[in-house]
Amino acid sequence: MPKAKSARRPIAYVKPPNVAANTVSKRNETFNIKEHSYCKKAKTATKSPTKAKLRKKIKTLQQKLRRRNLKICSLTGLIKDMRNMKLLEKAPAELLQDQFSGLTLGMFQNQIKNSVRKPGGRRYNEIKKFALTLHFYSPKAYLFVRKVLNLPHPASLRNWQSSVECEPGFFKDVLENLALQVANNTNMSDCALMIEAMAIRKQMIYDKSKAKFTGFVDYGGCIPENSEEQASEALGFLLVGLRSHWKTPIGYFLTNKTNAVILASLVKSALSLVADFGFRVWSLTCDGTATNFETLWLLGCSFTPNYDKMVVSFKHPTRPYNAHSILDACHMVKLARNTLGDYGKFLSGSGHVISWEYIEKLCKLQDDEGLTLANKIGINHIKWQQHKMKVKYAVQTLSSSVAKALKFLQSDLKHADFQNCGPTVDFITTIDKLFDILNSRYAYARGFKHPIKMQNLESIEKIFIATSE
């Protein structure tokens, strides 16, 4: 029998003495063995500073801290020795106080005291006034100046401004502050009172700081109220300067559909309280809601269609002069648009038909032709119910540009669908004139937007008389 083949013995690889560490010889051939990159990274990652290096670093930091403390002690001792030897008579703050005052001194003191920004830093009164004033005029400018000066964070300003208790009722603290300013500027004493009711969501919220539930009807103790009834409106009172640029809220009340009797009582209380602080309220401005009309009637006004019998002023409750009632022009324009849009047609004083249909036809004609007759009428103006709170849609609907477009289609183009739109054009033109007169803002405006003066008082009065006829 043939002999079985014996298994081969493995060949041993012996590293030659004259070959580098990363090479291996196999049957007279030399191969280079290179390490992969991840091996190198793993080796470097496992390296850590030795204890000796850490001890050296700790020793260096302790030496720096010790030298700093010695330097501080030496400077403090030097200043004390100079004071004992009467070489330093006053402190640096006293020297600054001799040379500067007011805001400049406050800035120096603020920089010295709060050189390192820390939470809860103390601020001088001058710095507080400067920061609040600058942030009021321009928050961006305040953030820019804050990069140079050590001014408080805007959150601190909000905390300073929200430190006053704002419970429902009249704000006597606000009136006292305004009274101090009136003593220096008599032009601030003439003002107007504005009232506005804003809808709020009915809900009860537990106030932890006061340990009670809030969200009920609250008149601030001015009028007895039902504390179990939830509030649905917030009635606000605002004072606006007539001869100077200022405005401020003087109170608010939480109500649930305020009736005219309560509102008239609150208005009288506001006029009396404001007069006690030296203010003269010459007008009362409000929206044209049914409750506000009834309130003005209780105060002594009468809004009859006859211009001669119309009474638009009422006697001040505690002062010997009359206050005039003004209906908000923006809200009245919306009411005129809503009335025409809801009813579709109504008769003018002369018996002619004023129709909403012509405005719809104008919008459809412009959409079909792809051109507009220099007006902004669109689908949002026709479907105004979805945007009834936006004043711009109401003003653009009852504007002179729409009236001119309808008149152009009637007279120049003689379009068959617009032959009887004359009364509608007159109605839109009248509303536009009244709105421009009552919404005047600029002293140099032209046309009906010019402010009411003695020179144009007669012509404006003729427009009002013609409107009431």
Q: Give per-residue pLDDT as tens, 376-405.
A: 999 999 999 989 889 999 999 999 999 999
Number of residues written out for the chain: 469
Q: Give the whole-angstrom CA distance, residue 13 versus residue 11.
A: 6
Chain Cα centroid distance, residue 255: 24
Integer angstrom CA distances of residue 458 from 165, 292, 450, 455, 465: 49, 29, 14, 8, 11
Which pLDDT does position 348 carry in this prediction?
A: 84
CA–centroid distance for 158 within its chain: 13
pLDDT in tens, 43-102: 444 445 688 888 888 888 888 888 877 776 665 665 666 566 655 555 555 554 555 555
Contact 269, 242 (CB under 8 A): no
Is residue 315 within a helix (H) or strand (E), and if so which, with residue range? Answer: strand 313-315
What is the predicted pLDDT for the residue at 6?
A: 46
Give yes or no for a contact between 114 and 150, defined as CB atoms under 8 angstroms apart. yes
What pLDDT sits at residue 99? 53
Q: What is the DSSP letter of 234?
A: E
**Nearest-angstrom CA–CA distance, 282 and 324:** 6
Residue 26, phi then psi, degrees to nearest 5: -135, 110
Tally of CB atoms within 10 A around 170: 21
In single-letter form, the type of residue at position 297 comes to W
Q: Where are the domains of the chain?
A: 120-163, 169-283, 331-468
CA neighbor of 425 nearest in space, from 343, 344, 353, 342 = 353
Q: How many CB atoms lie within 10 A of CB 148?
A: 7
In one-letter notation, the amino acid at residue 159 is N
Distance CA 267, CA 34 (A): 94
Q: Say which residue the tokens 């649905």 belong to.
A: 232
Provide the pLDDT for residue 21: 44
pLDDT in tens, the chain (469 residues): 444 444 455 444 444 545 444 444 444 444 444 445 544 444 444 445 688 888 888 888 888 888 877 776 665 665 666 566 655 555 555 554 555 555 555 665 555 555 555 555 556 677 777 888 888 888 888 888 888 777 788 888 877 776 566 788 898 888 998 898 888 888 889 999 999 999 898 888 888 777 788 888 888 877 766 667 889 999 999 999 998 888 999 999 999 888 899 999 999 999 999 999 999 999 999 999 999 999 999 999 998 877 778 899 999 999 999 999 999 999 999 999 999 999 999 888 788 899 999 999 999 999 999 888 999 999 999 999 989 889 999 999 999 999 999 999 999 999 999 999 999 999 999 999 999 998 887 888 888 888 888 888 888 888 888 887 6
What residues contact residue 294 under an 8 Å CB cut-off, 6+ apart? Answer: 260
**Closest among 293, 370, 281, 358 to 317, alpha carbons compared:** 281
